[in-house]
């Protein structure tokens, strides 16, 4: 099957610091692709390359068979969860409408059509009940559903997600990740999901790109999330424990703030 995202010999470096090099990667339509790694390993920079916001040092990056470019309609983007101030006057449906016609200049030509599309998107993410509520009054999880709806407005072929579950409680993490997975299944949308924590999405992930220390590994979670592979990437003894369908990484280097729920799961595994 043709790939929708393709990197060939990709290298990204800033000054003397190489984030990755010789990265060859093809992501297929409908694939759920997770990008993992410690702070500063280059996960956000990876998304920026695909968004056309960050030039590679060398190599090529293509979307839908063409070089990446800013503002590509092939892409939907879900940013990190940041709460709107409580007094934000914009209603939930206005936020979603920005995704539908926010890219066009001037007066909306077909408000009826926009409204129908917004209704459809709100329903898709289960947000119809609070369509008219100001966004600042909604919970973090409800706000994030709206960002998913906004990102899906143009029917993207690739959904780029930058830690979309951050600061959501477990219930909302599950709901938002299930929503993103449903979209990828039903519309064959490729999902590139940057995260510190694989467990909330473990049941959906097809492949992982693990970035660490200027190097990377790509493969299925079973191939990459192993004691051997992560110890090699980190250059120190790291232990990967699989328990109750979850993955716990123990013994990450001190300077690494990244974890896979090692703290919160320590009791569960012991």
Ligand X SMILES: Nc1ncnc2c1ncn2[C@@H]1O[C@H](COP(=O)(O)OP(=O)(O)OP(=O)(O)O)[C@@H](O)[C@H]1O
User: Exposed, middle or buried by CB within 10 Å (0-12, 13-18, 19+), for 20?
Assistant: buried
Backbone angles phi, psi at 168, to 5 degrees: -95, 150
Query: For residue 38, what are its two tokens?
Result: 């410690």
Mapping DSSP to helix (H, G, I), strand (E, B) and coil, where does residue 248 land?
A: strand
What CA–CA distances, in Å, run from 155 to 96, 146, 148, 158? 13, 15, 12, 9
Contact segment (CB under 6 A) with ligand X among 40-48, 69-77, 86-94, 129-137 equals 40-48
Contact stretch for ligand X (CB under 6 A) within 20-28, 34-42, 122-130, 218-226: 34-42
Smallest gap from residue 214 Cβ to ligand X (A): 10
The beta-strand segments (E) located in 220-270 are 239-243, 246-250
Q: Minimum CB separation from ligand X for residue 39, in Å?
A: 3
Minimum CB distance to ligand X, residue 195 (Å): 9
User: By CB under 6 A, which span of 33-41, 150-158, 216-224, 228-236 interacts with ligand X?
Assistant: 33-41
Pick from 5, 34, 41, 173: which binds ligand X (CB under 6 A)?
Answer: 41
Q: Does 144 bind ligand X (CB under 6 A)?
A: no
Q: What are the CA-CA distances from residue 72 to residues 124, 153, 162, 247 (Å)?
A: 23, 13, 17, 35
Report the chain's terminal Cα–Cα distance, integer Å.
43
53 binds ligand X (CB under 6 A): no
Binders of ligand X among residues 12 to 31 (CB under 6 A) are 14, 19
Q: Is 43 in the site for ligand X (CB under 6 A)?
A: yes
Comparing CB distances to ligand X, the nearer of 80 and 182 is 80
Other Cβ atoms closer than 10 A to 183: 21
Report the DSSP pairing between strands 75-78 and 66-67: unpaired
> Residue 84 Cβ, how far from ligand X at the closest point, in Å?
21
Of 42 and 141, the one with the shorter C-beta distance to ligand X is 42
- Choice from 9, 22, 24, 39 touching ligand X (CB under 6 A): 39
Give the interface with ligand X as residue ranges (CB under 6 A). 14, 19, 37, 39-45
């Amino acid at each position: 099957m043709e790939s929708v995202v393709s990197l060939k010999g990709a290298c990204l470096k800033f000054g003397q610091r190489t984030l990755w090099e010789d990265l060859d990667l093809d992501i297929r339509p409908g694939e759920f692709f997770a990008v993992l790694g410690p702070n500063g390993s280059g996960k956000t920079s990876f998304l920026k390359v695909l968004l056309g916001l960050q030039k590679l040092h060398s190599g090529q990056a293509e979307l839908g068979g063409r070089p990446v470019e800013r503002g590509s309609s092939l892409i939907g983007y879900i940013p990190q969860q940041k709460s709107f101030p409580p007094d934000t006057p914009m209603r939930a449906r206005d936020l979603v409408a920005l995704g539908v016609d926010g890219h066009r200049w001037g007066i909306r030509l077909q408000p009826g059509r926009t409204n129908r599309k917004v209704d459809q998107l709100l329903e898709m993410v289960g947000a119809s009940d609070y369509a008219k509520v100001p966004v600042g009054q909604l919970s973090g999880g409800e706000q994030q559903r709206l960002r998913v709806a906004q990102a899906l407005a143009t029917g993207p072929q690739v959904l780029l997600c930058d830690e979309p579950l951050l600061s959501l409680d477990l219930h909302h993490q599950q709901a938002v990740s299930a929503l993103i997975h449903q979209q990828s299944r039903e519309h064959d949308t490729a999902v590139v999901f940057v995260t510190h924590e694989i467990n909330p999405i473990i049941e959906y992930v097809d492949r992982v790109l693990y970035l660490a220390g200027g190097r990377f590994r790509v493969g299925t979670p079973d191939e990459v999330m192993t004691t051997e592979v992560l110890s090699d990437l980190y250059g120190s003894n790291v232990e990967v424990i699989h328990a109750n369908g979850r993955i716990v990484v123990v013994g990450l280097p001190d300077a690494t703030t990244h974890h896979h729920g090692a703290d919160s799961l320590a009791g569960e595994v012991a």
